[in-house]
Amino acid sequence: MSSSPVKEAAAERIETSPSTMQRIVAVIDIGATAMRMAVAEIHDGAKVRVLDQLVQPVQLGKEAFETRRLSRKSTERVVSVLSQYQRVLREYGIEGTSDIRVVGTSAVREASNRLAFADRVYTATGLHVEPIDEAEVNRITYMGITPQLLANAELSNGKAMVLEVGGGSTEVLIVRSGNVLASNSFRLGSLRMLQAIDLARAGVDRRRALLENHINRTLNQLNEFVRGDSQLNLVAVGGDIRLATRLIVDDWQPGELAVLPTKSLAELTDTVLKMGDDEIVKRFDASFIEAETMGPALLAYSMLAKQFHLEHVYVSDTNLREGLLKDIAVGGSWTAEFRNQIVRSALSLGRRFHFDEMHARSVAELARKLFDQLRSEHMLDNRHEVILHVAALLHEIGMQINVRSHHKHSLYIIKYSELFGLSRSELLQVGLIARYYRRAPPQPSHTDYMSLDRETRVIVNKLASILRLATALDDTRTSRIREIECQTDGKRLMIHVPGVRDVSLEQIAMKQQAGLFRDVFGLSVMLRAGET
DSSP secondary structure code for residue 324 in this structure: H
User: Looking at the structure, do residues 55 and 146 belong to the same domain, yes or no?
Assistant: no
The domain boundary residue, chosen from 302, 327, 352: 327
Q: Residues 183-209: what's their mean pLDDT?
A: 80
CATH number for the domain spanning 55: value is 3.30.420.40
Q: Are 295 and 408 members of one domain?
A: no
Task: Tell me the three state secondary structure of residue 95.
Answer: coil
Taking only the tens place, the pLDDT of each residue in 471-487 is: 999 999 999 999 999 99
pLDDT value for 273: 92
Question: Sorting pLDDT into bands at 50, 70 and 90, what band is 181?
Answer: confident
For residue 13, pLDDT over 70 is answered with no
Distance CA 466, CA 490 (A): 17
**Is residue 175 a contact partner of residue 421, using CB atoms and an 8 Å limit?**
no
**Paired sense of beta strands 170-176 and 129-131, if any:** unpaired
SS3 label, residue 264: helix
Amino acid occupying residue 304: L
Q: Is the dihedral of CA 199, 201, 204, 207 positive or negative?
A: negative
What is the domain range of residue 425? Answer: 336-480
Angle between helices 204-226 and 190-200 (to 10 degrees): 140
Q: Are residues 113 and 139 in the same domain?
A: no
The residues near 336 (Cβ < 8 Å, ≥ 6 apart) are none
**135 pLDDT more than 90:** no
Q: Is the pLDDT of residue 18 over 60?
A: no
- Per residue, the 3-state secondary structure of 379-410, as one string, reads CCCHHHHHHHHHHHHHCCHHHHCCCCCHHHHH
The stretches of 42-133 forming alpha helices (DSSP H) are 60-67, 72-91, 106-110, 114-125
Buried b (16+ CB within 10 A) or exposed e, 425-456: ebbbbbbbbbbbbbeeebeeebebbeebeeeb
Domain count, the chain: 3
Residue 494 lies in a domain: no
Q: How far apart are the first and last CA of the chain?
A: 78
- pLDDT band of 20, cuts 50, 70, 90: very low
Is 298 in the same domain as 210? yes
pLDDT at 171: 92
pLDDT of residue 303: 96
Check pLDDT > 70 for residue 157: yes
Q: Among the three residues 327, 357, 388, which one is the final residue of a domain in this structure?
A: 327
- Looking at the predicted structure, is the pLDDT value of residue 173 above 60? yes
Whether the Cβ atoms of residue 306 and residue 262 lie closer than 8 Å to each other: yes
Q: Mention every residue, 6+ apart, whose C-beta is less than 8 A from residue 344.
A: 179, 180, 420
Q: Binning pLDDT at 50, 70 and 90, where does residue 143 land?
A: confident
Of the candidates 459, 480, 501, which is a domain's last residue?
480
* Strand-pair partners of 417: none
